[in-house]
C-alpha cells in the first residue's frame, strides 16, 4: 500500500506548481488553470487523509470544493470574456486600472 506521505508529496508539488503559475504567468486563462491546479492539490490531500483516517468527511469536502471550482470557473470565464470584449486582451499586466 502506498503510504500517505507520497500522496501528500504529490499534493504539495501540484500546489506549488499552481502557486508559481499564478505568480509568473501573464495569461489570465493560464492563471485560472493554475488556481484549479491548487484546488485539486487540496482535493488530493483531502482524499488521502480521508482514506488514511477511514473517515468520509474529507471526501464530502472534496465534493464541495469541486462544486465551488465549477462555479468559479463559470464566473471567471465570464469575466474573462467580458474583459476580452472590452479591452481586446486578457494579459493581466494590461489589466491594472485599480491603482492610484
Partner 1 sequence: MTEYVWLVPFFPLVGVVINGVVGLRFPKSLIGLVGCITIFLSFLTSCLIFLELLTLPVESRVVEILLYKWIPCGDLQVHIGFLVDALSLVMMLTVSGVSFIIHVYSYGYMHDDPGVRRYFTYLNLFVFFMLVLVSANSFLLMFIGWEGVGLCSYLLIGFWYQNKAPADAGKKAFIVNRIGDYGFLLAIMLIYIVFGTLDFLPVFEKAPQLLRTGELTVTLITLLLFVGACGKSAQIPLYVWLPDAMEGPTPVSALIHAATMVTAGVYMVARCNILYSLAPLSMGVVAVIGALTALFTASIAMVTNDIKRVLAYSTISQLGYMFLACGVGAFTAGIFHLMTHAFFKALLFLCAGSVMHALSGELDMRKMGSLRSHLPITYLTFLIGCLAIAGFPFTAGFFSKDEILWEAFQANTLLWAIAAITAFMTAFYMFRAVFMTFYGESRMEPEVERHLHESPAVMTIPLIMLAILSVVGGYVGVPSLIAQGWNKFHDFLSPVLGGHGVQVVQETSGIAFATEVASHGVQELHHPAGLEWVMMAISVGIGLAGIFTAYYLYLKRPELPGRVAQQFKGLSHLLSHKYYVDEIYFAYVVTPVNIISTFLWKFFDDRVIDGAMVNGSAWVVKRVSSGVRRLQTGSVQHYALSLLVGLVVILYLIMER
The residues near 44 (Cβ < 8 Å, ≥ 6 apart) are 7, 10, 11, 14
Q: Of the candidates 23, 54, 85, 86, which one interacts with partner 1 according to CB under 8 A?
A: 23
Neighbours of 49 (CB within 10 A): 18
| Bridge partners (DSSP) listed for residue 91 | 27
Size of the residue set binding partner 1 (CB under 8 A):
10
Nearest residue (CB) to partner 1, 5 versus 100: 100
Instruction: Confirm or reject binding of residue 86 to partner 1 (CB under 8 A).
Output: no
The single residue among 5, 54, 88, 99 that binds partner 1, judged by CB under 8 A, is 99
Amino acid at each position: 500500500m502506498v503510504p500517505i506521505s507520497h500522496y501528500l508529496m504529490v499534493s504539495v508539488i501540484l500546489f506549488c506548481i499552481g502557486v508559481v503559475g499564478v505568480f509568473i504567468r501573464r495569461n489570465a486563462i493560464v492563471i485560472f488553470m493554475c488556481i484549479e491546479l491548487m484546488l485539486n492539490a487540496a482535493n488530493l490531500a483531502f482524499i488521502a487523509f480521508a482514506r488514511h483516517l477511514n473517515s468520509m468527511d474529507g471526501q464530502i469536502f472534496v465534493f464541495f470544493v469541486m462544486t465551488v471550482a465549477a462555479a468559479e470557473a463559470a464566473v471567471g470565464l465570464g469575466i474573462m470574456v467580458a474583459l476580452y470584449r472590452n479591452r481586446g486582451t486578457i494579459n493581466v499586466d494590461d489589466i491594472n486600472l485599480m491603482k492610484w
